[in-house]
């Protein structure tokens, strides 16, 4: 017979459950290597004018030789931690589609290089929706009392999975990383994360994918380039992205008690200028309130929202209402709301102008 525990009424440890979760730090990193539209004209059947008209992108950044997702993630995280006053973090979530290796996850390596100790750390794969998904998980982790401070990173090296000869994708994507620190706060405090709305539809998984490299289709010497590289059905993605982001944004706004007219800034995934304009129009938000960062860095996937936040931080005022939304492979999509906090942020673009060589592998703090 199994022994009976007679101490069933012993008091259980009480977890601190905060009133709210607030954004406390922010940082971004973009590689040094700039690839302009004119550079692409030399090897692709395209033109600067065509790319600008179709996407709004003028240039993008590619990781340098030997520079991987963990390198960019570590540097962005270091800046976010400094922005937050270098707090003790007890959870790291890395949103990425391009980990350093299929196995193991990249987040533990980033945590180690930051000198964070044996904290919980894991990767989250939701492609371009990854940062919104990861931020929602961090919000829930803190509200539950399970964790006090969470480092959320979005980082991708899409240049590693893009066919450089594919005009449909090579003109769009760039590399980079962005990170935030969130922690316990008070209701109504500037920086508060207010609401999240997340969704997926696996029946549309073929719209955005890398076919080979997993258990369904392992890479072999016979694997074709079409299966080895990233592919996207652009027209279908455009339509679904606009509809999905708009619907999810409405749900997040309603849960927050906000109306579209209350939104000071729309920070959507930086996929395409036309998509951003269309989402703003469908929601009834002034296009001038839509943050634009893709023109200089391209579509940086999971890094795009935190990089846009870091780039635009000097223009945000404390207490202003921000709406975040994204659509990515899976398919996945979601939205979240927050008010802007009083934080200091290093502009990754300004720092880039002062840096002439790729970021070296960071050492532990």
Give 220's contacts (C-beta < 8 A, 6+ positions apart). Answer: none
**pLDDT tier at 363, thresholds 50, 70, 90:** very low
Q: Which of 37, 139, 272, 299 is catalytic?
A: 299
DSSP of 113-142: HTT--S-EEEEE--GGGHHHHHHHHHHHHH
215-224 — which CB contacts under 8 Å span 24+ positions? none
Greater confidence (349 vs 253) lies with 253
pLDDT digits (tens, 9 = 90+) for 153-165: 999 999 999 999 9
pLDDT digits (tens, 9 = 90+) for 80-106: 999 999 999 999 999 999 999 999 999
pLDDT over 90 for what percent of the chain?
Answer: 86
The answer to whether residues 286 and 265 touch, using CB atoms and an 8 Å cutoff, is no
Report in angstroms the alpha-carbon separations of 241 from 134, 141, 172, 293. 19, 28, 16, 18
The answer to whether residues 151 and 55 touch, using CB atoms and an 8 Å cutoff, is no
pLDDT digits (tens, 9 = 90+) for 305-322: 999 999 999 999 999 999
pLDDT digits (tens, 9 = 90+) for 217-247: 999 999 998 999 999 998 899 999 999 999 9
Question: In which residue are the tokens 């720092």 written?
Answer: 351
Q: What is the mean pLDDT of residues 174-194?
A: 96
* pLDDT recorded at residue 9: 57
* pLDDT recorded at residue 13: 54
The answer to whether residues 329 and 207 touch, using CB atoms and an 8 Å cutoff, is yes
Beta-carbon count within 10 A of 88 CB: 11
Does residue 128 have an active-site annotation? Answer: yes
DSSP state of 25: E
Dihedral pair phi/psi, residue 213, rounded to 5°: 115, -10
Does residue 204 have an active-site annotation? Answer: no
Greater confidence (234 vs 342) lies with 342
Total residue length of the chain: 365
Q: Give the predicted TM-score (pTM) of the model.
A: 0.91
List of E strands, the chain = 20-29, 33-36, 59-62, 91-95, 120-124, 149-157, 175-185, 193-200, 208-210, 230-232, 265-268, 321-328, 332-339
Walk me through the domains of the chain, giving residue ranges and CATH numbers.
20-342 (3.40.47.10)
DSSP of 336-355: EEEE--------HHHHHHH-
DSSP state of 85: T
Does residue 299 have an active-site annotation? Answer: yes
Q: Which of 128, 147, 272, 359 is catalytic?
A: 128
Give 336's contacts (C-beta < 8 A, 6+ positions apart). Answer: 132, 135, 136, 139, 193, 194, 195, 196, 197, 252, 323, 324, 325
Task: Give the three-class secondary structure for 340.
Answer: coil
The answer to whether residues 51 and 37 touch, using CB atoms and an 8 Å cutoff, is yes
Burial 335-351 (b: 16+ CB within 10 A, else e): bbbbbbbebebbebeeb
Q: What is the mean pLDDT of residues 308-337?
A: 97
Greater confidence (197 vs 355) lies with 197
Q: Which of 147, 269, 293, 359 is catalytic?
A: 269
Of 149, 103, 143, give the one whose Cα is nearest residue 123: 103
pLDDT over 70 for what percent of the chain?
Answer: 91
Question: Is residue 355's pLDDT more than 50?
Answer: no
* pLDDT recorded at residue 349: 60
Of 144, 102, 104, 107, give the one whose Cα is nearest residue 122: 107
Tokens of 176: 């980079």
Question: Is residue 358's pLDDT more than 50?
Answer: no
* pLDDT recorded at residue 3: 44
């Amino acid at each position: 017979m199994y022994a009976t525990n007679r101490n069933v009424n012993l008091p259980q440890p009480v977890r601190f459950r905060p009133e709210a979760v607030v954004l406390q730090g922010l940082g971004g990193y973009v590689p040094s290597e700039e690839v302009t539209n004119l550079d692409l004209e030399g090897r692709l059947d395209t033109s600067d004018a065509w790319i600008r008209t179709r996407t709004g992108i003028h240039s993008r950044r590619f990781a340098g030789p030997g520079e991987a997702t963990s390198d960019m993630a570590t540097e962005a995280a270091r800046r976010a931690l400094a922005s937050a006053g270098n707090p003790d973090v007890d959870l790291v979530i890395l949103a990425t589609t391009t980990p350093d290796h299929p196995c193991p996850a990249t987040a533990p390596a980033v945590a180690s290089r930051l000198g964070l100790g044996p904290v919980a750390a894991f990767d989250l794969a939701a492609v371009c929706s990854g940062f919104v998904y990861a931020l929602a998980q961090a919000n829930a982790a803190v509200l539950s009392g399970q964790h006090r401070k969470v480092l959320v990173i979005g980082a991708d090296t899409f240049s590693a999975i893009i066919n450089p000869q594919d005009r449909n994708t090579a003109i769009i994507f760039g590399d980079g990383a962005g990170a935030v620190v969130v922690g316990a706060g008070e209701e109504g405090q500037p920086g508060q994360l207010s609401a999240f709305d997340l969704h997926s539809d696996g029946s549309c998984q073929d719209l955005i994918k890398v076919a080979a490299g997993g258990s369904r289709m392992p890479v072999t010497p016979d694997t074709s380039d079409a299966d080895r590289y990233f592919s996207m059905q652009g027209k279908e993605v455009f339509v679904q992205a606009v509809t999905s982001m708009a619907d999810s944004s409405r749900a997040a706004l309603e849960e927050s008690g906000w109306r579209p007219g209350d939104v000071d800034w729309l920070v959507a995934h930086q996929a395409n200028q036309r998509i951003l304009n269309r989402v703003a129009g469908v929601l009834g938000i002034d296009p001038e309130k839509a943050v634009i960062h893709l023109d200089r860095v391209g579509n940086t996937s999971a890094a795009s929202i935190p990089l846009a936040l870091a780039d635009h931080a000097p223009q945000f005022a404390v207490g202003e209402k921000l709406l975040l939304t994204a659509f990515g492979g899976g398919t996945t999509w979601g939205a979240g709301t927050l008010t802007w906090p009083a934080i200091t942020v290093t502009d990754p673009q300004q720092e880039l102008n002062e840096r002439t060589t790729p970021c070296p592998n960071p050492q532990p703090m």
